[in-house]
């Protein structure tokens, strides 16, 4: 326990992030099950409307800010130093602080449920003036602000760390265009976080000033502007969607080539599409504000439509990578194929709501709820599980059970379709989101029941995964350094890696150094022979090797 509380090793911090993020996911998932159970039938069966509002507020907040993003940051913590050939992050203590701020931020938000008036109940978007003191007087709202500000600082500090690590700690030969796609995706994401998070962090501070220090930033009655909150929130909120999704695109770009036994199709095009998605995402925030009537619709509609182009490039390139490959349908690969199916539906419906006439109809309906979950569950959860199954042997030295993994995957593909496809129709039929009840005569009952059954399938689908993790952790580690035939440098390290990661590094002459080394070894070049301090067959000594724990206490 002491080792975990005092960890500065990027791998331990990565594991902490991943486990904590899954903890918040389970919590938020239980809230989602409560929401869906309430909606299975007309009438209030389980919770009152105020509790229902708290559930969907904290569910959204936890999933967006404390699961999807931090899970990616957990993978990045573990993998980025390994993939660039470094011994650790550039600022290990700052890395640990980022984790603790994230953890305490989440706990503070959840602690709202322990107060007599409950947690924040204004939606994860916390629109002003609803979030102002007269309409949200409970301390749960202040706890929400505190948690968001903390996770904002955590994200900013973490992003600086990633950018410096990627720029300054690369091994010799690891040029920018030899970086693995996952590391590239984290670099782009880190820049997005640096640009976007200050906006919501500042907005949170302004909201607190409004609530308790006599400010009037968002109060129209005192000369403020409620739309200002929406601008500040969505200037963070829409890049946040890509902050959440882009690292997972990186994971898919790592997994698909390995199990297709082919190089990634269009490596540079994938990088440029990452950068293009990030750049365009900075100019689309107000497509969430079409119906306010105060934004210039063509500008935001056009840029929103443009984003489909680089996103489409990525999907085409993944498919092209698989095309005529020697595909192995392992569990990580199945999750990636599932992502392509689920995320593409979300992308297409995103193009639909980027069109103002359709958005005006779909605004605040279940159509938007279904679209958001198609994008975020498809883009993050599916790829997140792909990453877990893919890197679990690297992190623990053990394999997750293949049969349980397939059951997990199948139940999520089926459960996802059952849950969210009916919600598109509910949206078209006019069912608004964020309501705890609906009239029995509305014609929404059957679709809601199917959606709820799907949510149950999703929840039960987690059991095989948890069983697989428990079973694996009870077994002895058997994984070789490179069990899958990987491409990037983490597969040159032991499973799990040493504290200082590498005793040697293969020569880095392409974006697939471990593949190159394996090929050379098969041809008799033996570049993987361990060096004794000298370059031998191209292998080189690695950072931190000579004195791995030498930092003064």
Stretch near other proteins under the rule CB under 8 A, chosen from 27-35, 418-426, 449-457, 545-553: 545-553
Stretch that binds other proteins, among 138-146, 215-223, 313-321, 322-330 (CB under 8 A): 138-146
Check binding of 5 to other proteins (CB under 8 A). yes
Closest C-alpha to 83, from 174, 19, 158, 193: 174
On whether the CB atoms of residues 186 and 194 are closer than 8 A, the answer is no
Stretch that binds other proteins, among 163-171, 258-266, 358-366, 412-420 (CB under 8 A): 163-171
**Cα(482)–Cα(490) distance, rounded to whole angstroms?**
9
Beta bridge partners, 536, equal 539
In the list 21, 80, 87, 372, the residue contacting other proteins (rule: CB under 8 A) is 87
Give me the least distance between CB of 240 and other proteins, in Å please.
14
Query: Which residues, at least 6 apart from 378, have a Cβ–Cβ distance to it below 8 Å?
Result: 338, 339, 341, 342, 343, 344, 345, 346, 416
Three-class HEC string of 503-537 = CEECCCCCCCHHHHHHHHHHCCCCCCCCCCCCCEC
Q: Which of 214, 223, 298, 524 binds other proteins (CB under 8 A)?
A: 298
Least distance (Å) between residue 168 CB and other proteins: 8
Cα–Cα distance, 399 to 381 (Å, whole number): 20
Site string for other proteins, 447-486 (x = CB under 8 A): ----------------------------------------
**6 binds other proteins per the rule CB under 8 A:** yes
315 near other proteins (CB under 8 A)? no
Of 229-288, binders to other proteins (CB under 8 A) are 231-232, 235, 275, 279, 282-283, 285-286
How many chain residues interact with other proteins (CB under 8 A)? 91
- The answer to whether 101 contacts other proteins (rule: CB under 8 A) is yes
> DSSP secondary-structure letter at 553?
-
Query: Shortest Cβ distance from residue 27 to other proteins (Å)?
Result: 18
113 binds other proteins (CB under 8 A): no
- In 68-124, the DSSP E strands lie at none
In the bound complex, what is the minimum distance in angstroms from residue 2's beta carbon to other proteins?
A: 8
Nearest to 77 by CA among 63, 62, 94, 101: 94
- Residue 534 burial (CB < 10 Å; 0-12/13-18/19+)? exposed
Six-digit token string for 398: 């053990």
Q: Radius of gyration of the chain from Cα atoms?
A: 24
What residues contact 530, with CB distance under 8 A and at least 6 apart? 503, 504, 539
Q: What span, in angstroms and rounded, lies between the C-alpha atoms of 513 and 501?
A: 16
User: Can you list the alpha helix ranges (DSSP code H) found in 261-328?
Assistant: 267-281, 297-322
Q: Can residue 97 be called a binding residue for other proteins (CB under 8 A)?
A: yes
Residues from 166 through 185 that contact other proteins (CB under 8 A): 166-167, 169-178
Measured from the CB atom, is 108 or 181 closer to other proteins?
108
Q: According to CB under 8 A, which residues from 11 to 70 bind other proteins? A: none
**Residue 150 makes contact with other proteins by CB under 8 A:** yes
Shortest Å, Cβ 23 to other proteins: 17
- DSSP β-bridge partners for residue 505: 540
CB of 104 to other proteins, least distance (A): 3
Stretch that binds other proteins, among 94-102, 345-353, 396-404, 480-488 (CB under 8 A): 94-102
Q: What string marks each residue from 482 to 511 as x (binds other proteins by CB under 8 A) or -?
A: -----------------xx----x-xxxx-
From the CB of 25, what's the least distance to other proteins, in Å?
A: 21
């Amino acid at each position: 326990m002491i080792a975990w509380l005092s960890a500065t090793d990027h791998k331990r911090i990565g594991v902490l992030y991943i486990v904590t993020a899954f903890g918040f996911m389970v919590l938020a998932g239980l809230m989602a099950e409560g929401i869906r159970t309430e909606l299975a039938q007309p009438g209030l069966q389980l919770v009152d409307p105020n509790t229902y509002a708290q559930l969907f507020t904290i569910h959204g907040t936890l999933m967006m800010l404390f699961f999807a993003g931090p899970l990616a940051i957990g993978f990045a913590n573990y993998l980025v130093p390994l993939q660039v050939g470094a011994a650790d992050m550039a600022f290990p203590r700052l890395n640990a602080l980022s984790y603790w701020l994230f953890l305490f931020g989440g706990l503070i938000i959840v602690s709202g449920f322990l107060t007599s008036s409950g947690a924040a109940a204004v939606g994860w978007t916390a629109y002003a003036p609803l979030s102002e003191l007269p309409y949200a007087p409970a301390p749960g709202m202040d706890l929400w602000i505190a948690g968001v500000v903390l996770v904002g600082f955590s994200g900013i500090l973490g992003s600086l760390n990633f950018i410096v690590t990627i720029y300054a700690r690369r091994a010799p030969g690891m040029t920018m265009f030899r970086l693995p796609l996952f590391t590239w995706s984290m670099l782009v994401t880190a820049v997005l976080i640096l640009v976007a998070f200050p906006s919501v962090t500042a907005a949170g501070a302004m909201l607190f000033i409004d609530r308790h220090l006599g400010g009037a930033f968002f109060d129209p009655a005192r000369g403020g502007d409620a739309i200002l909150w929406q601008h500040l929130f969505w200037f963070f909120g829409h890049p946040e969607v890509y902050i959440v999704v882009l690292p997972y695109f990186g994971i898919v770009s790592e997994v698909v080539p390995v199990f297709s036994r082919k190089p990634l199709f269009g490596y540079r095009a994938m990088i440029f599409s990452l950068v293009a998605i990030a750049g365009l995402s900075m100019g689309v925030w107000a497509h969430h504000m079409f119906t306010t009537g105060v934004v210039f619709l063509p500008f935001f509609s056009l840029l929103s439509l443009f984003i489909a182009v680089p996103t489409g490039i990525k999907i085409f390139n993944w498919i092209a990578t698989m095309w005529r490959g020697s595909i192995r349908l392992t569990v990580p690969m199945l999750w990636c194929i599932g992502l392509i199916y689920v995320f593409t539906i979300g992308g297409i419906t995103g193009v639909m709501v980027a069109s103002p006439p359709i958005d005006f109809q779909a605004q605040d309906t279940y159509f938007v709820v279904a679209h958001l979950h198609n994008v975020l569950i498809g883009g993050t959860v599916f790829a997140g599980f792909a990453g877990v199954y893919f890197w679990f042997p690297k992190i623990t030295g053990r394999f997750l059970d293949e049969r349980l993994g397939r059951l997990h995957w199948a139940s999520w593909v089926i459960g996802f379709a059952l849950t969210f496809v009916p919600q598109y129709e509910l949206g078209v039929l006019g069912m608004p989101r964020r309501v705890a009840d609906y009239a029995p005569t509305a014609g929404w009952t059957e679709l809601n029941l199917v959606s709820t059954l799907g949510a149950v399938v999703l929840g039960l689908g987690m059991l095989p995964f948890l069983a697989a993790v428990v079973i694996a952790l009870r077994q002895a580690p058997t994984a070789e350094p490179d069990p899958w035939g990987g491409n990037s440098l983490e597969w040159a390290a032991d499973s799990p890696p040493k504290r200082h990661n590498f005793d040697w590094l293969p020569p880095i002459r392409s974006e697939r150094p471990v593949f190159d080394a394996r090929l050379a070894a098969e041809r008799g070049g033996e570049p993987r022979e361990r060096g004794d301090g000298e370059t031998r067959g191209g292998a080189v000594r690695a950072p931190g090797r000579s004195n791995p724990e030498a930092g003064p206490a």
